[in-house]
A and B are shown apart, each in its own frame.
Chain A
């Protein structure tokens, strides 16, 4: 392994990646991204769903270049370091549904694990019940893993399969840049999709090139270092291994310092941007999301990075998240700053039941 490879494989890899996330997310806020967020794989996947018209919540419609950058940055890293390995075949339907329920859970809390840690670093104490839920969800996932839960093995696939997700991301980028209007109103005039929010969170975005560049850099670093916010806690519980946990600590500390320097550190519960104060559902939403991420093998950022390496199963999880965002808003389970959505209880209960059934029943098939 080259010395650069050894560096990224050491404990410094996740730490450097965490520092990059913790510094760049608040900077993206300064440049226009939503406050108290900066980067959020769940919220940004939801915004992409909105941009494409999979839901019609007008405040959250924008094809986020950061998500595109994560996949393509990871692809570049994988190609440069010969880790691009097209593969698929590990219970894709289960992974797709896990992606849907992970997103439903994340949108009850209003954030993915990356955002939970970034919110903590910005002083949003509503992230605390979310982070407690995160520990609970992962701990439950570890119970299933110890019982023998497995979605089975993937297999090598033809190169073309590994290129599908990067190609989809390039297509998304073209849709963002050229903004075709596929819809038609009653008079035949072109309207969205592609949608762009004019007010609300979806209208808050850094310039496209900067957002894309940040996504590419983080995608590259995260692929090299295997940065994973689920693995960070999971490996502590499973094996007392703090290797990935260092990345999580780095995110929080770097975000805290950067927010302080930028005047963006605002401690408290009330009035936090794009957040609500409902303790129970901040906790419950994250239990579901984290359990689903653990059962799928990694946090949503990690799934995007693996999809850039050619992993079709990770790609289908990521696509499940986008579809899940559509359901979450159409079915009124998603939260808003006013509070959790009216159907959040049903959504979280159904999601947890699905994950528990999967956890108890999915095993590697015995060889013939």
Chain B
């Protein structure tokens, strides 16, 4: 069973969630799951991923969000 690439960006200041997600995207292995805990990070990571051609689904989870990025 393959591991899903996970980026834990909870609690990080702007723009670290975007930077870490971009680094994961460069590896080119999908899907990628990104954990964030603010609406700002959710929106920033979604926008960046979409600009890179990814499809983004967002689920609320606990106090934050899980974004699943697929190509």
Bound state CA distance, A83 and B42, in angstroms? 12
Structural contact, B48 and A231, CB atoms closer than 8 A: no
Given A85-B37, A238-B18, A239-B22 in contact, is the A154-B48 Cβ separation under 8 Å? no
B7-48 residues with Cβ-Cβ distance < 8 A to A are 10-16, 18-19, 22, 37-40, 43-44, 47-48
Residues of A with C-beta under 8 A to B14? 228, 231, 297-298
Residues of A with C-beta under 8 A to B37? 85
The count of chain B contact residues (Cβ–Cβ below 8 Å) is 20
Given A231-B15, A234-B15, A238-B15 in contact, is the A243-B63 Cβ separation under 8 Å? no
Structural contact, A241 and B51, CB atoms closer than 8 A: yes
Bound state CA distance, A226 and B48, in angstroms? 15
Measured CB to CB, the closest approach of chain B to A49, in angstroms, equals: 25
How many residue pairs between the two chains, A and B, have CB atoms under 8 Å in the bound complex? Answer: 56
Structural contact, B39 and A83, CB atoms closer than 8 A: yes
B residues near A (Cβ < 8 Å) are 10-16, 18-19, 22, 37-40, 43-44, 47-48, 51, 63
> Of B11, B40, B51, which contacts A226 at CB under 8 A?
B40
Given A83-B38, A226-B40 in contact, is the A90-B19 Cβ separation under 8 Å? no
Structural contact, A85 and B38, CB atoms closer than 8 A: yes
Structural contact, A151 and B13, CB atoms closer than 8 A: yes
Interface of A, secondary structure class, is: loop
A145: nearest chain-B partner, CB-CB:
B19
Size range of the chain A interface in the assembly: 20 to 34
Measured CB to CB, the closest approach of chain A to B4, in angstroms, equals: 19
- Give 8 CB contacts A-B under 8 Å: A146-B19, A153-B11, A153-B12, A234-B15, A239-B18, A239-B48, A297-B13, A297-B14
Bound state CA distance, A150 and B63, in angstroms? 22
Given A9-B43, A235-B15, A239-B22 in contact, is the A153-B48 Cβ separation under 8 Å? no
